[in-house]
């Protein structure tokens, strides 16, 4: 019984972690899409967010 309870607890934890990871990835995706959108007419021109601030690479 102890093995089954531990296995169930691990499955539940994995499920929560998977859900949290999916939400984090969606949040990152939304942020990048907003930052790189060509429709950002109201925002001032900015550099590519992945660009090195010193302009190298």
Q: pLDDT category, 55, cuts 50, 70, 90?
A: low
Query: What pTM does this model have?
Result: 0.59
Q: How many other β-carbons are positioned within 10 Å of the β-carbon of residue 35?
A: 13
Q: pLDDT category, 54, cuts 50, 70, 90?
A: low
As a whole number of angstroms, the distance between CA 45 and CA 57 comes to: 19
In this prediction, residue 14 carries a pLDDT of 98
- Mean pLDDT along residues 11-28: 98
């Amino acid at each position: 019984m102890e093995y089954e309870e531990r296995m169930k607890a691990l499955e539940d934890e994995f499920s929560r972690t998977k859900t949290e990871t999916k939400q984090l990835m969606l949040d990152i995706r939304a942020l990048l899409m907003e930052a790189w959108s060509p429709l950002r007419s109201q925002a001032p021109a900015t550099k590519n967010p992945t660009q090195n601030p010193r302009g190298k690479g």
